[in-house]
Structure formats: C-alpha cells, structure tokens
Structure 1
Amino acid sequence: MTQFLVLLIYGLSEGAILALAALGFVLIYKATGVINFAQGEFLLIGAYTFYTAFVIFQLPILIALLVGVVVAVVVGVLVERLILRPMVGQSHISIIMVTIGLAAVLSSIVQMFFGTQPRAMPNLFPTGSVEILNGSIPANRLWTLLVAAVVLTLLTVFFQKSKHGIAMRSVADDEQAAMTVGISVRRIFAMSWGLAAVSALIAGVLLADLTTVEMGIVNFGLLVFPVVILGGLDSVPGTIVGGLTIGLVTQFTAGYLDPGLAGVAPYIVLVLVLLVRPYGIFGEKRIERV
C-alpha cells in the first residue's frame, strides 16, 4: 500500500506537468492546425529563462516568474509571426519540417549560452516529507501537483468563460465563420503560440524544481506526443486525462515491472491507442469529403 501511494503521487505530479506541456501543443494544433515538434524546447527555454532570472540575476521569485512569462510570450509570438505565418498555405509536411528545424535551433541556442552540464536550482517549494497512510511523500511533489492543478483549472476556465478563450475556440471550429463576426484570426494565432509558450514555461519550471535544469528536459517534452494521442489532438480535457494517465503508467511500470521499461511504456500506450482509436479517446473524428 505504501509503495502504491508513493507511485501514485509521483505519477500524478509528473502527469500534471505533462498535461501543462501538452496543453500548449493542443492549443497550437486547435487554433492553427500546426503539429509543433518544438514543444519540448519551449519547456527547455522556460526552465533556463527562469533559472537565469532567479539564480543568476537573483531576482525575487515572482519577478523572475514574470520575466519568464514575458520572454515566453515574446518567443511564442515571434515564432508565429516570423516563422509559421509565412508558411500559411504550405503543405503539412513542410510545416512539420520547419518545427523540427526550429526545435534544433532553439536547443542549440540554449547549449550555446548554458552548455550541457546540469544546473541545480534552489528549492521553490518546502522540502521534507508528509506522512500519508503510513507513506512518506515528498512535500515538493504535493506542491507541484497543487500548482499544476490550479494552473490547469485557470486555463480551462479561461477557454470556457473568457472573451478571448471563446474567440480561440471559435477560430478552432471555423476560421471563416470567426472572421465574419469580427474575430482577428491572426491575433488568435499569435495568442495561441504565446499561451503555449507560457504553459511550457510553467511546466519547465516545475520539472526543473523536481530534478535539475538540464538539456534532458527536452526528452521529457517528447512524452507530450503519447499524451495528446491518448487524449485527442483537439481536446483540452483529454489532454489533462492523457497527461495524468501517462504519468501514472510511467511510474507504475518503473515501480512494479522494470525501470528500463518506464521510458518505453508511454509509446506502447500510444501505439495501442492508435490501433483502436486513431483520433484519441476524446478526439473528434473528422470526415472530409472530396
């Protein structure tokens, strides 16, 4: 029972971070139809930006987080304006190749300034452990789960209730109809990339607090793909369910089977889901007539 509880909390905390990272991926896909292979690099840039502001420049944590948000929004908007917008109308494979190239460029820029050595970041959350049902749970895991849950809730409310959130959903459903009611599709595109970068920033900071600030954060970002396939490429609630599911699968595989299989298990889930439901569990099946 103790091992189960520990693995459960570890899986939920990592799954919540995955859900945040995957949410940015889904936002971009829903609004623009672009499959962003650079989402892992957005996590990397977010983590290193916060590290620079918080550790190197020794800014207060809230100011450092604000700096990270500003940088994330600027990077997201610039990528959309300068790289993706000129690609409008091009084939999907061309756009995918552009995002793969973008991932390589962003990763190289980070290595150029920071190198490849892991860097420790001061603890953002209280250290120690909490006793739950005779199990010792690290306090930072519980804080990570709480913060991620709050951010996911706020973003969900934003999409459902706010004016800009409704506009983003309208563009995702039908661009032409959205334009006829006065919604600026280009502005929504830029907003989608900006929000995706911010969600990646928060995910990257939470992940760096649990581990270290290092290039390996990109590998964690690759788990976004099993998450969005499981939840559905165009489903925000499915992203949350998919993130938590992949986090739990990874931890339970490592704890009860073989740690070596933990890195493979999410992709086994991905293949199984594609065989049964190619559009994901919560995704909408689209039928195109030609």
Structure 2
Amino acid sequence: MIVRTVLGDIDPTELGVTYAHEHLIIDSSTVAREWPHIHLPSVDEAVAEVGICVAAGVNAFIDAMPTGSGRNLDKLAQVSRSTGAHVIATTGMHTMKYYEGVEWANDDAGSLAHRFLAEIQQGVNGVRAGVIKVATTGPSLTERERAVIEAAGIVHERTGVPVLTHCEEGLGALEQIGALEGAGVDLSRVIVSHTDKVAEVDYHKAILETGVNVEYDQSLRQHLVGSSGTASLVAAMLERGFGDQLLLGTDGARRSLWTSLGGSPGLAWLKRGFPVVLAEYGVTDQNLHSMLVRNPARILAFHPD
C-alpha cells in the first residue's frame, strides 16, 4: 500500500499529521477575475504559509483543487520540495463554475475517466495525482455531476484511489453518497467534505452510518466569529462511535485566512489552536491522533498498479 504524493509514492506511515482538504495553489485566470479573494497562484506565498504549518507539526496536505480548475501540479511539487511537506494532488472535477471555456469539461463519463486515470498513472510532467475529486451543488444532482461521479467510479474501481468530495454549503451529502455507491465506489474510501456547515447532528450521523469518512473544515472561519460548532460536532460523532471516520482540514482557500499574507488565524491554527478548543469538548489526544494521522494514512493508501 502506498500514498501517492506529488514527489512520488510513500509508505502510509510516513504521512504524519495530515490536513485533509486544502488549497495551497489556485492558479486560474477565471478565479483571478471572478473571485480574486481565493486566487493563490504564488509558490513563494504557499511556501511561507505551509512552512508555518510545518513548524507547528503538520506533515502533509491534500490539495483539493482538481483538474482544470486552478490546479498547478508543477507549483505543488515546488511547494513540497521547498517545505518538506507531503502534498497529495487531486484529479477529477470541481463545480462547473470553474470550467469556463474548458471544452473537455463537458465530455462523457468514459472520456473523463480516461483523463483522470492518466493523471493518476502517468501524471503531468511526471507529477501524479493521488486522490479523485467530485463535487455536487445540492441534493438534486445535475447530469454533469452524475457523469463526473460515474467517471470517478470507473477510475476508483480500476485503481483503488480514494475519492474526495465537495458538498456545496454542506448539503446533499446523502444524495452524493448514493450516487457514488451506485457508481461502484467503496464508501470506506470516500472523504466527504464541508458538511460541518450544517449543524444537525442527525444529518452527520446518517452520513457516517453509510460508511464514508467525513472531513470537517469550518473551524478556522468559526474561530473568527467566536463559534465552535465543528468542535461540538466532532465530540458528538466521537460519542456515537465514529472516531475512525473523521478527518480535519481548513479548506483555507481565502487570502484573508493566511498568516503569510497578513490574514488570520492562519492555516497552522488547526494544529495549534483547534486542539485546545476540542479539549474543552472532551476530545482526547488519542482522538486527535486518529483524525490527523491514523485515519488519513489508512484512507489515502491504495495498491499501485
């Protein structure tokens, strides 16, 4: 079993503390024009922010910007080399708003699967992806979202590569999971993201009962407004026995969140500050180790060809 990083395959035990949904590089003319607050094209800026995280004890990052939406594999490799952090890149697709003028984004599932598979097996300039991303925009999946999920299922069945998801506003997770299962994806290899935007405990319980893993990533934003909703959800899910299915990240695609850009609280807060908040909710060091180290190492590992 290996984890595929932008600098090559590693043993899962080498992964260490892992942020499970990040945006270290977003390099896109569409993003620069439409959403400049999330435009993050600079290697030097990413190296500075990742370096702060590494100094805090973080070892690895899943960069969740997939094919054609602002991902730059060469830049991610530069960040990894400069900081010593492991970076796992994603293939797959984000929501369609990122694909203005990208003709292949409307390809059928078979053609998309061919593209995604090549990025895992051959890579771009030798830099390979280690995760497949799918994105949905609500409980009613579009035809395009279903095609991407079908493509992800084809590639997952062939490679065993894990699937990372985007749930817009945290909604529609159960419908997304149903589509993934229908596409042949092993749900124990799925990481569902952003659901902590929804505070309903029963919703999270229902998601986790399907066997997927969830990645909670709203703690930085909540910290800025004096909320601790994610910490409360973590505690509630641990109490219900789902500790082996939880991961943490920052989804830090905001220039205003990066310390290196003069923002706050910085991506390192998840490692430095959030454990203090979690402890107030009864979360133990062992629980934290599972969410940041043990669970990512298990879920991200697959058998190479």
- TM-score, normalisation: structure 2: 0.26
> Larger Rg: 1 or 2?
1
Which structure's residues are more often strand, by fraction? 2
The higher relative CO (CA closer than 8 Å, separation ≥ 6) is in 1
